[in-house]
Amino acid sequence: MRELLRRLTAALEQGREQVVCQVVETRGSTPQKAGALMVVDPDGGQLGTLGGGCVEAEVKQKAIRRIGQTGADVHAFVLDHDYAWADGLVCGGKMTIVSEAVRGGEPLAYFRTYQRLLEAGEGFTEAVVTEADRAEDVAGARYLFDSAGELAACWPPGRAVAAPRANPIALSDRPKPAVRGGVAYLPTLPRIRLMIVGAGHVGQAVGALASQADFDVWVVDDRSLYATVERFPTAQRVIVGSFEEVLPRLDVTPQTYALIVTRGHGHDQEALYHLAPTQAAYVGLIGSRRKIRLIFENLAEMGVPAEALGRVSAPVGLDIGSQSVPEIAVSIVAELIARRNLGAQKRTNVVTVPEPS
């Protein structure tokens, strides 16, 4: 999405007209969910996807016919026998898609704000009017609310008078897209920083895959030979230093996930000692259950609270029968995605915390 927004704003800066097509509501089985974005240019070029197949092709054809026009179209698709037979879809799903041709400086200001909020990673909500029921509303009107719920931008310009109808939603509740009163609410949750402690083979594989899944990756290791930009080209930060010195100094927030995959038990224990008591939303530790119990027992004796150890996910990773390093990385990143999308209740691997002696 970030790359799509960069290219969209670049096209608008160059004076090129674009058609923005967005899924704003889905029900049942659909190839894409609310929030999916596709941008079509006058030559038929395309960025993003609405899920492919006949629906996307039809929306794209209609989008090209909108070049040079004003206002938005709201398309409703029922994935019945006609669409399902052609694309192999499960019947019964419904999709609502809004498309609009944009040009000039005014939409550029809106999408620049969208891009800025997305890059900031603090979360925001876009509200799109799908059914106009007041004089000041128009179908396709858009509002951007920042992480604090304040109106950051609106399109068409001057629509702020209608903004009270498009009330923002609390991002802390991890909301899903929803439609209320003819307004589609499309939340973008705060982006998660994944702090990988250990730059070995598993850490490297996890870092590459997690970046593709839109985590902001940081890497920490005490070995300059392993913690390098060359090994972690998609990481935002690569930090070299002893764990006991580096970890206490790092900014660990409720939007931080910490993954401990060091080369040895002693380093794992040192890292967990510093990270378990923090406000990180997730702390995961790799290793056998026997190793993890020993580390937990040692840390309990060192005074780490049972509550802190009790929230550690260990051994980390979903059980998919992983054998190779890439498979282990897939199992770990799958767990991270589940935690991010489904919340803390999605905990599959938890070793019993030892009782204080």
Residue 68: what pLDDT? 86
* Residue pointed to by tokens 């929030």: 35
Q: Is 62 a residue whose pLDDT tops 90? A: no
Question: What is the chain's mean pLDDT, rounded?
Answer: 88
Alpha-helical runs (H) found in 148-305: 201-212, 243-246, 265-275, 289-301
Lowest mean pLDDT among 79-88, 204-213, 278-287, 294-303: 79-88
Confidence of residue 9 (pLDDT cuts 50, 70, 90): very high
pTM, two decimal places? 0.77
How large a percentage of the chain has pLDDT more than 90?
61
Quick one: average pLDDT of 7-30?
Answer: 91
Residue 302: what pLDDT? 96
Listed in sequence order, the residues at least 6 apart from 322 whose beta carbon sits closer than 8 Å to its beta carbon are 328, 330, 331
Contact 95, 76 (CB under 8 A): yes
Q: Look at the domain 193-342 and name its fold.
A: Rossmann fold (3.40.50)
Q: Is 89 a residue whose pLDDT tops 70? A: no
Virtual torsion, Cα 280, 282, 288, 291, nearest 10 deg: 20
Say which residue, 81 or 241, is predicted with more confidence: 241
Say which residue, 174 or 48, is predicted with more confidence: 48
Residue 85: what pLDDT? 46
Residue 58: what pLDDT? 87
Residue 69: what pLDDT? 86
Q: Is 29 a residue whose pLDDT tops 50? A: yes
Intervals of CATH 3.40.50.720 along the chain: 193-342
Quick one: average pLDDT of 56-79?
Answer: 86
Confidence of residue 347 (pLDDT cuts 50, 70, 90): low
In single-letter form, the type of residue at position 272 comes to L
Q: What is the pLDDT of residues 183-217, one digit of tens each?
A: 899 999 889 999 999 999 999 999 999 999 999 99
Quick one: average pLDDT of 150-175?
Answer: 72
Distance, in Å, from the CA atom of 333 to the CA atom of 1, rounded to the nearest integer, reads 19
Quick one: average pLDDT of 12-30?
Answer: 91
Lowest mean pLDDT among 29-33, 125-129, 221-225: 29-33
The dihedrals phi and psi of 227, each to the nearest 5 degrees, come to: -85, 85
Return the DSSP state at 177.
P
Residue 346: what pLDDT? 55
Q: DSSP E strands: which ranges in 4-161?
A: 18-27, 37-40, 46-48, 72-78, 94-102, 124-129, 142-145, 151-155
